[in-house]
Structure 1
């Protein structure tokens, strides 16, 4: 399909620096904590993340292991959400989806091997932040579950690279096609001639 695209489209590369994405992720935690934490605090009157963790460690020595398992599972689910969403839009479904790890930054990835329309790609890129970040934050705010709030904060911040890639393409015309870069964090865009 790429050969057909090259005949009618101009190809451009759009990538992000993973080191910058990691820094952006850390900086992103400040507004995320404010956006999620302020309503939580106003409703429930407390927001003692450290105290909750210290108390949990005291009560259950296996708590740190549970935290690591939940975080690792969440990272896997984050990539699976990308894969499922991209597969819904891809002509060849899951046959077009590949999972792996960029070893130089120890960053897991989901790669869609066929081009998608720009809006489809954006939906696939944003879904983990919505499913693992925004939705758990709303549930945490309404239920008072501080652990779910921490999970939501972490996995919204973990989507920093996704936000950066979306920022590279969101102003593109609806007819623009996007193809994941096979070895870098980013994509190729194909603009109609």
Structure 2
């Protein structure tokens, strides 16, 4: 679990790997776009509006994922970490780890991988770049997914009341455990360690290899 500002900084470490994995194959398949970005005021405004809507939909999809996992909309709290300028959708009750993972992955798949795949398939730059930006916006979700590696699918998991990350509330219970509030936690409570530098480095190498394979396939 991390403070919002630290989570944002660690997520930024994934910027280069995500760029290699997404924009690298596009450039290999279709070459540099010309122009790379909208040049007219209407196009710029439209793209910025789409990005803003994407950020809102990102959190809405998290909320939908929590409800899909058995929570109710009343159990989902939306807000903003103002110190990091990061919006959030926080589930206040435990859900199964398998559902929590799906909730984390949903915005990146729908808003990131979806437009990126369309852009790669038809050779249109703006959907590909938009998908890249949405994948960057989901970098924090990828970090939490990485932290959750090894947590049993049936474990009960809940968003941390104040930080970015989650609490493993119960590993084996068949019934939903009671929600955990900030008052229930010691000041230094942590459940999962943040990703180590070695893990981030391995993720960067994996992304670079994937991008290189995209280049080789395109050239061949």
SS in 1 for 2:162: coil
* Cα pair 2:7 2:164 within 8 Å, conserved: no
Shift of 1:162: 0.9
The 1-side partners of 2:86 and 2:19 are apart by 23
Q: Match for residue 48 of structure 1? A: 33
More strand by share: 1
Shift of 1:90: 1.9
The 2-side partners of 1:127 and 1:71 are apart by 17
TM-score (norm 1): 0.81
Aligned length: 172
> Does residue 95 of structure 2 align to residue 116 of structure 1?
yes
Q: Match for residue 5 of structure 1? A: none
Q: Match for residue 10 of structure 2? A: 24
Q: Which of the residues 19, 31, 41 maps onto 1:33?
A: 19
More helix by share: 1
Gap change, CA 1:36 and 1:101, over 3 Å in 2: same
Moved over 6 A (4+): none
Q: Which of the residues 105, 122, 127 maps onto 2:84?
A: 105
> Does residue 85 of structure 2 align to residue 85 of structure 1?
no
The 2-side partners of 1:87 and 1:161 are apart by 20
SS in 2 for 1:185: coil
Deviates further, 72-81 or 16-25: 16-25
The 2-side partners of 1:29 and 1:186 are apart by 19
* Cα pair 1:21 1:160 within 8 Å, conserved: no
Write the deviation string for residues 114-143 of structure 1: whole angstroms up to 9, x where unpaired: 101111101101111111111211111001
TM-score (norm 2): 0.71
Q: Match for residue 8 of structure 1? A: none
Unaligned runs of 5+ in 1: 1-14
Gap change, CA 1:42 and 1:168, over 3 Å in 2: closer
Q: Which of the residues 50, 53, 61 maps onto 1:73?
A: 53
The 2-side partners of 1:102 and 1:192 are apart by 29
